[in-house]
Chains A and B, each alone.
Chain A
Amino acid sequence: MVVRALGQAGLLESCRYADVRLGIHEVKYAHAENGKARGMGEDRSISFGIRVLAGEMSAWGFYGQPIGEVESNPKNFSKILTLGISRAYARAIANANKKAEFKPFAPSLTDVKLAKIDACKDTMYAIFDDDPGTIPVKEIFTLCTKISGEMRDVHQDVQYASVDAKTGMHRELFCSTEGACIDQSYALTQGTVAVVAQKPGGIPETCHDYLGDLRGWEVLNARNVYKQSLADFAFMRTHETLELTEAELLPATNDAVVVVTNPHFNALLVHEIIGHPTEADRALKLETAYAGRSWLWRDLHDNELGKQIASPLLTAYSDPSINGYGHYKYDAEGTPAKRVTLIENGILREFMNGREYAAILDHPPNGSMRATESHAVPLVRMTNTVVAHGNKPPAEIVAEVKDGYFIVNHRIPSISESRENFRISAQKVYKIESGKITKLYRQGGITADSKDFLMNIDAVGNDFSVFPIPDCGKGQPMQIMRVGNGGPTLRSKAKLTGRREL
């Protein structure tokens, strides 16, 4: 049906290209707070998105729509799809006409060109041991209620404990007028815990963290990056949060100090200062109003490609072929996914891109376009974006530090507009004295100019983990995307953030 509708689109007078994504999501979920039920359910959603490139001076038009069960019967769906194509086409034509009208005043307005790819036909099946479809929603509900109650009961200073869990299947069909036809499915299971603990009269300490992978229910039974069940993970975070209520606030420093950052902290660090600035749409200024630009690329003739932007010890890549939240075989344009080397021994090598941006940059397309749901327009997105492991054991990286700090587990980021400066808070910060981890501090983190931090890296661990980041916001309207981020233990220099002396 989709192929037939696209065939009709191809016959429209000045349609140059069109693609359709049709997605079905099924999910079961539950939520509990402090041992009390809050909700459970099962949802199924179907939606489609249509991109059309049309007009003498070709331009995009997009139409997306979720559809209901009634509309999803073949007769109705065919009608809706045809209507959607005509709406996307009308928008593309109107846009192309305006583009041509404005061209004399704005010479950089250009025909859209798409970098060439093979039109693939393929089917990918979801991978799981415990089929999400066979997990009773009541089992999810019982688990959340039990764990959140037990978290609350750990200590009287636990003020709030909540657990969310969900498991489901996602399937998307991609077809294009170039002849691509790709059917991809994946399972997704995620557990979320939140804890607030507070000593009487003290400042509350909060923790919010996730377990998750593109697998079945086994994810919450220890098949995850932590190798812990959801219950064990929740208790670990509860005990850590309680421990922090006893800790001193981290004093901020005016000067950079030696910091060792653990893989969990580096997941967010890599996300913010390597992943985002190596997205081609940011580099090409498409996100100037919202998510920001990239300090790595000023224009076609002035940029950091081929230049040293990090320590020679640092290599970073984005790889959808490895396990993690950013795993897939084809992106939302049907481009085969591949490992993209972003930084090689400190040299900037490549940006994550889509077909249009690859054509502008004259780079090969590397399959990094995704949309949160089928009815949303695809954007350049991180996949599993990580720092490659090095060869030094993490214990040795710490042992070599005479006077420094161990920055453990990420919390909240705030990044400068072109990703040139960051402040990221940590769940825990320990003092390192003469190679030993000593005093624990809380409510601290680090801040640095991104290039300084990357250039100052003098040790890269032989450990390596990819963590789920479920909530990366980008685009307008904002799309919340899941990505994988991580890497090894790193050592560099940064200022500490925290309590300031008045």
Chain B
Amino acid sequence: MIDTEQLKTCVRNGIDFVKKQRGVVDAEIFASWNEHITVRLNYTSDIPCNGVQEPKSTQVSGIGLLAVFKTGKETKVGFGSSSNTITPQGITEAFDKAKRNKIYDPDFYSLPEPVGKSVLENYHDPAVMEIRDEAIVDLGWRGLKGAITEYNQKQFNKSIIIGGDITIRKEHMAIASTKGMNDWDESTVLTANITSMIEMEKVKGTGWNTSTHISCFSPEEAGRESAESAIRTRGGDRISSGTYDVIFGKQPVTDLFANIVIPALSLSSINTSDTPFLGKLGQKISSELLTVYDDGAIKGAIGSKKISCEGIPTGRTDLIHNGFLVGFLANNYLSKKWNNKIASFVPRNGFRFEKGGRNPAIQPRICPTNIVIEGKEEVSVQSLLSKINDGIYIGRIWYTYPINGLAAGDFTTTVIADSYLVKGGKIIKPLRPNTIRINNNITDILNNIIAVSNDKRQTIVWGGEEVVLAPEIAVQGVTLDNISGFIV
């Protein structure tokens, strides 16, 4: 492990070095060390298996250097990196690359400047930073035990599948610049995401648990929850194709927002003209019941950071307020490129998330942190159900994609678990998994929201660093197609 003091020293000394180089007008140096640990679960009661398939880890560390050069009358900008080397030689290597590869980019205005004060301090868990291999392995087996115990207690021990993972992310970073940036950050994240099945009954359940501190982390609870949900959804029915009123549970809300809505609310989508919300700032784009914002400074949320990878303190960026489009996620580069062309954007979301951490080898992209979804008048889950006379509660969806590109707004996904038929405001029967495909346009979904629940939970996104604080949302008139008649 490379500690934060080493990173701080490296970037400060690096700035001193770069300032002395001929032609340099400005420079920013980012250094980080990240470890991504995964314990993959694989238990199959009827097939020889390992239980925990493998405990594994990988690391990303190094230096990323962005420098602005004055060459005659022209200003050029260059980026260089040095992988896995936090040393003066690494600084030299990164600088040489930046100098060699400098370009004239008419849309580059300036490096980020220090602004505001960070909300979060000392929010990571030192015990996670020091976790030992035996303890890592133990977390995996605890997740498995939670599910197996639940199945065994309920007398299910055949045709059981338990999969998923326990993931630990440790991140250290420091940044310094000639603009006066001089800051650092340390974060720890633990997630358990477990899916289990009674396969012969064609049922699947999902459970998850998240924490920034190991003392509050419970992988066994994720295992237990997955088994309980699978058991509860036995004996499900199919439904015929048609238009239904639907309650989207927390995982479907997360999937829809993380894959369809939030990417379209980023300046990078504005930059590529690939969003259904182009030209709609200030206009109504959804039901007035919906408010959405990104907030990277929520204490205890796993998407939280003290500062972005550009050194900007994290905080709240409003995106949709009472149905009106009020903002876009931004980084420094695009916020300056688009400043005053459509509005001003605070660049709180410039992150280098890649390969399980803050990757110094890439320049900051726009990434969400904690996505918060709220209702104007939030209601209890019971009240939400009472709004559905004849419809479906959807608890988990799968492979949600903007099937005709983000700008078109069309999306498709399949319903794979944790779902029920609702009649007269009550859950009456499970829905058979893998028998429904949702085919809709996201603008219709957003406009047809009829209620938002007051019960929110941090919900994980596969392959993403962000988390969604997701409620359940009721939507009228969702098109559902009956599929896979030949098999399930």
Chain A positions near chain B (C-beta within 8 angstroms): 33, 36-47, 49, 51, 59-71, 87, 90-91, 94-95, 98-99, 101-102, 105-106, 108-110, 112, 137, 141, 159-160, 162, 194, 196, 198, 203-206, 284-290, 292, 295, 298-300, 360, 375-377, 411-418, 420-421, 423, 425, 443, 445, 447, 449, 451-452, 473, 476-478, 497, 500
Contact A421 B148 (CB under 8 A): no
Contact A159 B52 (CB under 8 A): no
| Given A91-B137, A108-B46, A299-B47: A69 touches B103 (CB 8 Å cut-off) | no
Interface segment among B79-87, B112-120, B302-310, B385-393: the answer is B79-87
Task: Answer whether residue B180 sits at the interface, using C-beta atoms and an 8 A cutoff.
Answer: no
Interface segment among B4-12, B467-475, B480-488: the answer is B480-488
Cα(A196)–Cα(B138), bound, Å: 49
Total residues of chain B contacting the partner, CB 8 A: 106
Indicate with 1 or 0, residue by residue over B125-167, a CB within 8 angstroms of chain A CB atoms: 0000000011011101100110010001000000101011101
Report the minimal beta-carbon distance from A266 to chain B, rounded to whole angstroms.
18
| Given A196-B273, A476-B167: A98 touches B47 (CB 8 Å cut-off) | no
Report the minimal beta-carbon distance from B439 to chain A, rounded to whole angstroms.
7
Residue with the highest number of chain A CB atoms closer than 10 Å, among B50, B136, B194: B50
| Given A91-B136, A360-B48, A412-B403: A66 touches B84 (CB 8 Å cut-off) | yes
Contact B84 A67 (CB under 8 A): yes
> A-B pairs with the 9 shortest C-beta distances?
A68-B85, A68-B84, A62-B56, A289-B195, A288-B163, A110-B48, A289-B163, A159-B273, A289-B164
Q: Which B residue's beta carbon lies closest to that of A375?
A: B58
Contact B134 A94 (CB under 8 A): yes
Interface segment among B342-350, B406-414, B422-430: the answer is B406-414
Choose from A37, A91, A109 the contact partner of B105 (Cβ within 8 Å).
A37
- Which chain A residues border B193 with CB–CB below 8 Å? 289
Contact A420 B97 (CB under 8 A): no
Interface segment among B17-25, B34-42, B282-290, B374-382: the answer is B34-42
Can you list 9 A-B pairs, Cβ within 8 angstroms, ordered by A?
A: A59-B54, A70-B87, A91-B54, A91-B56, A414-B401, A415-B414, A421-B414, A476-B167, A476-B462
Contact A99 B437 (CB under 8 A): no
Report the minimal beta-carbon distance from B106 to chain A, rounded to whole angstroms.
6
Contact A477 B36 (CB under 8 A): yes
Cα(A160)–Cα(B271), bound, Å: 8
Indicate with 1 or 0, residue by residue over B56-89, a CB within 8 angstroms of chain A CB atoms: 1111111000000000000000011111110101
- Which chain B residues border A66 with CB–CB below 8 Å? 58-61, 83-84
Q: Which A residue's beta carbon lies closest to that of B63?
A: A68
Contact B104 A95 (CB under 8 A): no
- Which chain B residues border A418 with CB–CB below 8 Å? 434, 487
Task: Answer whether residue B249 sits at the interface, using C-beta atoms and an 8 A cutoff.
Answer: no
Choose from B56, B138, B161 the contact partner of A64 (Cβ within 8 Å).
B56
Contact A416 B484 (CB under 8 A): yes
Indicate with 1 or 0, residue by residue over B203-229, a CB within 8 angstroms of chain A CB atoms: 010000000000000000000000000
Cα(A41)–Cα(B96), bound, Å: 11
Contact A377 B54 (CB under 8 A): yes
Contact B38 A39 (CB under 8 A): no
Task: Answer whether residue B405 sits at the interface, using C-beta atoms and an 8 A cutoff.
Answer: yes
- Which chain B residues border A289 with CB–CB below 8 Å? 41, 163-165, 193-195
- Which chain B residues border A64 with CB–CB below 8 Å? 56-59
| Given A42-B101, A71-B84, A412-B402: A87 touches B133 (CB 8 Å cut-off) | yes
Contact A69 B93 (CB under 8 A): yes
| Given A68-B82, A137-B101, A288-B163: A416 touches B141 (CB 8 Å cut-off) | no
Cα(A415)–Cα(B412), bound, Å: 9
Contact B487 A71 (CB under 8 A): no
Contact B48 A204 (CB under 8 A): no
- Which chain A residues border B106 with CB–CB below 8 Å? 36
Report the minimal beta-carbon distance from B164 to chain A, rounded to whole angstroms.
4
Contact A36 B105 (CB under 8 A): yes
Q: Which A residue's beta carbon lies closest to that of B84?
A: A68
Task: Answer whether residue B236 sits at the interface, using C-beta atoms and an 8 A cutoff.
Answer: no
- Which chain B residues border A39 with CB–CB below 8 Å? 79, 101, 103, 105, 363
Indicate with 1 or 0, residue by residue over B349-366, a CB within 8 angstroms of chain A CB atoms: 000000110000101000
Report the minimal beta-carbon distance from B272 to chain A, rounded to whole angstroms.
5
| Given A65-B59, A420-B434: A95 touches B414 (CB 8 Å cut-off) | no
- Which chain B residues border A284 with CB–CB below 8 Å? 44, 47, 49
- Which chain A residues border B50 with CB–CB below 8 Å? 59-60, 95, 99, 109-110, 112
Q: Which A residue's beta carbon lies closest to that of B59?
A: A65
Report the minimal beta-carbon distance from A264 to chain B, rounded to whole angstroms.
17
Contact A416 B483 (CB under 8 A): yes
- Which chain A residues border B91 with CB–CB below 8 Å? none
- Which chain A residues border B194 with CB–CB below 8 Å? 289
| Given A61-B54, A91-B137, A416-B437: A295 touches B167 (CB 8 Å cut-off) | no
- Which chain B residues border A70 with CB–CB below 8 Å? 85, 87, 89-90
- Which chain B residues border A94 with CB–CB below 8 Å? 55, 133-134, 136-138
Choose from A60, A98, A108, A194 the contact partner of B272 (Cβ within 8 Å).
A194
Choose from A159, A414, A445 the contact partner of B413 (Cβ within 8 Å).
A414
- Which chain B residues border A290 with CB–CB below 8 Å? 163-164, 462
Choose from B58, B361, B398, B407 the contact partner of A292 (Cβ within 8 Å).
B398
Q: Which A residue's beta carbon lies closest to that of B135?
A: A94
Contact A204 B414 (CB under 8 A): no
- Which chain B residues border A292 with CB–CB below 8 Å? 398
Contact B463 A478 (CB under 8 A): yes
Cα(A445)–Cα(B411), bound, Å: 12
Contact A451 B487 (CB under 8 A): yes
Cα(A284)–Cα(B333), bound, Å: 46
- Which chain A residues border B161 with CB–CB below 8 Å? 285, 288
| Given A62-B56, A196-B407, A412-B403: A102 touches B51 (CB 8 Å cut-off) | yes
Q: Which B residue's beta carbon lies closest to that of A272?
A: B399
Contact B485 A108 (CB under 8 A): no
Report the minimal beta-carbon distance from B475 to chain A, rounded to whole angstroms.
16
- Which chain A residues border B273 with CB–CB below 8 Å? 159-160, 196, 198, 204
Cα(A205)–Cα(B272), bound, Å: 11
Task: Answer whether residue B197 sits at the interface, using C-beta atoms and an 8 A cutoff.
Answer: yes
Report the minimal beta-carbon distance from B297 to chain A, rounded to whole angstroms.
25
